[in-house]
Structure 1
Amino acid sequence: MNHVYTADEWASLLGQLKAVELAPASVEGQAATWEGLMPGEVLATRKSRTCLAWAGDGRKYVLKVYPDAGRAGREAGVMAWLRAGGLTVPAPLAVGEHALLREFVEGTSLKQMSDSDLVETCAQLGRWLRRCHEIGADHPAAGRDAGATWLVGDMNFGNYVVGTADFLLWGIDFGDTRMGDAYDDVGEGIMRILIRPPAFTVLNWEAAVGFIDAYATADAGGSGGPRVTGGEELGPARQRVIPAVQRAFVQMAAWRHGDADMLRAADTFPETWGRVVAAAEKCSMLGM
């Protein structure tokens, strides 16, 4: 056993797992395989106890365990819905009251992005997020709240990887998913880009503009698209995101116990963003 689980705890967790509806057909009848999983490396997470789980044939999975009941089931349900809609998310395979077993995606975390890849990867993230929101807006729960969709809920770069096998961007963590306004995710995404170390560089601002532009202009792939963005072009999208980014900075300040730099960033963002957007528009007109 690893240091997170005793043998009895591990056996109890595996015993509660049931196949997820909409899980790939290949997992049917694999309960015996789950029971034989062995715990592996503990993964760094703040909100769950998470580790790799190894099968006897060498395949590896991820097992997440939450302290609160029902959270694993909500995450599994949203992941299954998004995956069924064609989004690159790991397949949730089995779920219990507190535990979720999902596929492991081999890849490079966006936290490890190089400067040379930043702008294009952030644009890729914007396109991925737009598709995520379109599929989420088609969920029956979204119909109860006009304009709502399933949110990722945590745009931390550690929740995304670029796959080793396919070079596609994958969203791998939906533990904070909730129904809400799509621009809550978009605003936090821009905030996360801007504070990527070293924070608030010219390159980070360029990547943030590329992110919102990719989000706004990505091809709609589902009936939820118009309800998510209202068919906006670049100008309206660039303006609509301003209060969402300010809220994200304020929330980050609270999470960091009153971080003055984050509060200052919230106050100054509209003016700085205006200058950055104006420069981007000028470059676009000049064909740069």
Structure 2
Amino acid sequence: MKSCFLNLRIASGAVSWEARGDAAASILGKLAAVLELRPEPVPAVPATAVLISPPSPAPGDGKFIAAEHGFRLFEGGEAGAYILQTDPRAAESRVAWANCCKFLLAAGLLGPGGRRRFLLLHGALLEHSGSAAVLLAPGGTGKSTTLRRHRLHGGGGCADDWLLLCEDGEAFAAYPLPTWSEYGRLCDRRFPAEHGLPVRWLLVLSRSERGVGYAGAIPAAEWKAALLNSAEHASWQPLRLLPQETGRKIRLGNAALIGRLARSFFPLAYYADLNDIPGSVLDAVVSRRNR
């Protein structure tokens, strides 16, 4: 079975990365273009490199490897620098590539100023008339069901599980994570990862048993909390493996971007109950808005 390969180096706020193989060029290349990260060769890991992630033994070669993540983390030859490599045994699967994407995203958050600011979110991305709705909910709430229902009613399903929310001037654009937009069974390939959609709606999904109503506006504090929870859920693997200071910077960046989002533009933020909506959740919100 083919394996995926990502080699990533972060030092003094600068990021260099390389990926090998056709799948790497397709998936990580598209993601890096969205993040405005250019691939550069990464120096070879020195023979005396020391793993600085929580170690677990790897069979055979006596080295340590963070096998639960499919990555190895090494000191990068200078203070504060480190190199992240995929485990050569990691199969070329959606899960392996999703993890590669998440670590590349974490690296992008640490780059110097001037790059696009973005959030990696755990959620679904729905399309309606050329605009995007970001659907947030804890795992098992019904994001995939909602995405499937929306597509059955003629809407577009761009991402199921992971998505990017990027600043786009004074507005925001949403991008499906390439792994899921290209290989996800529920996703619509009309919306490739490298083309963002303007975000118009933020939906927070629930599965209560209220029995009445189907959508309603929610306070900004509630959807800000939903965004923070979604960003934390999406980034837990990089945050566990990367150094503590790196994780702190990522969290601060997430909070700052959500604060700007709250101050700037969101014209629509809705609470939607999956059990109350017979058709597409987004159609219900749009029809309510147009009354």
Q: Which has the higher helix share?
A: 1
TM-score (norm 2): 0.29
Q: Which has the higher strand share?
A: 2
